[in-house]
Amino acid sequence: MNVSALSFGASSLGGIFRNVKEADCVRTVRTALDLGINFMDVSPYYGLTTAETILGRCLKGIARDRYYLATKCGRYGADAKDFDFSARRVTSSVNESLGRLGTDYVDIIQVHDVEFGDIEQIVDETIPALLRVKDCGKARFVGITGLPLCMFTQIVERLPNDTVNTILSYCHYALNDTSLLEIVPTLQCRGVGIINASPLSMGLLSLRGAPGWHPAPAEIKQRCRLAAEHCQRHGTDIVKLAMQFAVSEPSIATTLFGTANPKNLSQNVAWIAEPIDGELLTEVHEILQPIRNLTWPQGRPENNQQDNSASKASILSI
């Protein structure tokens, strides 16, 4: 898969950040394709199937060879009861997603937020089920997604090479956190493609600041706010700097960002074509140094344990 440096995260189409109009969604997706963005990622969890449904409508009539499409399975809501990594459920989930997306196959089927599952089940049941989906021609590749970096290395190291083809990591390659780089050698030697998401750290890196539901501790939010204000004083939006920084790492295949606004999408594409302000980048990194690589726990406690093969990112308790 020869993917664009920037990719489209379709969670925004599910209205999880704000109410959106379907006409705006269509314009945004069509603008993305026209600007050369060729990889789109979605999940049945986003908007409780709404994002998949809307994305399917947006792509209707578009030649299938113009884009790569990824979706997920295993997570269907926000509560513990809404996770189901059983072979039966993930297999049916793929079929349901294909129907909503209006396609016969996805390019990548991903286990969604593996840290909420039992690692033994994911290795021994979930991924083998998705390999059977792949053998049926309903997916070309199999991937895993999540927040704790240690889960990626623990899963790929338990499986033969070419079993897990991609990982999708979020909030771990951005201005405030580059800990994703620490597991890159392990992934590269196994031929695993790296997808980076949330280059704005789920809204931390913006003047507006993180939304109320954001799990980051106050210390992280405060430092990111200072960095955003510093950029503003220098006549630059921190979003621009963050996007430019995110796509500059050659070991990362693509960076996902989400919007349902075609103007914002066009602006981001234009920004990454400009040279980065090295002096401002250094200043922002200095501001963010006290919280560099600090993160937060998510999922089962045992799935947040760092080991020698995983990132040494520190976890801040909430």
Q: Report helix, strand or coil for 37.
A: coil
Q: Please give the Cα distance from 158 to 143 (Å, whole number).
A: 14
Region 302-315 average pLDDT? 57
Residue 80 clears pLDDT 60, i.e. is over it: yes
Q: How many Cα atoms sit within 13 Å of 276 on the Cβ side?
A: 21
Question: In the annotation, is 170 catalytic?
Answer: no
Outline where DSSP puts E strands in 163-214: 166-170, 193-197
CB-based contact 36:6 (threshold 8 Å): no
The pLDDT score that the predictor gives to residue 316 is 43
pTM of the model: 0.94
Q: Please give the Cα distance from 8 to 154 (Å, whole number).
A: 28
Q: Which two tokens stand for residue 96?
A: 């349901």
The pLDDT tens digits for 100-132 are: 999 999 999 999 999 999 999 999 999 999 999
Q: Which of 45, 46, 67, 173 is catalytic?
A: 46
CB-based contact 51:76 (threshold 8 Å): no
- Under the banding of pLDDT at 50, 70 and 90, the label for residue 15 is confident
The pLDDT tens digits for 238-288 are: 999 999 999 999 999 999 999 999 999 999 999 999 999 999 999 999 999
Q: Determine whether domain 6-315 maps to CATH 3.20.20.100.
A: yes
- 125: which DSSP letter? I
Q: Please give the Cα distance from 170 to 141 (Å, whole number).
A: 20
**Residue whose structure tokens are 């507006």:** 208
The pLDDT score that the predictor gives to residue 315 is 44
| Chain centroid offset of residue 43 CA | 11
The pLDDT score that the predictor gives to residue 306 is 66
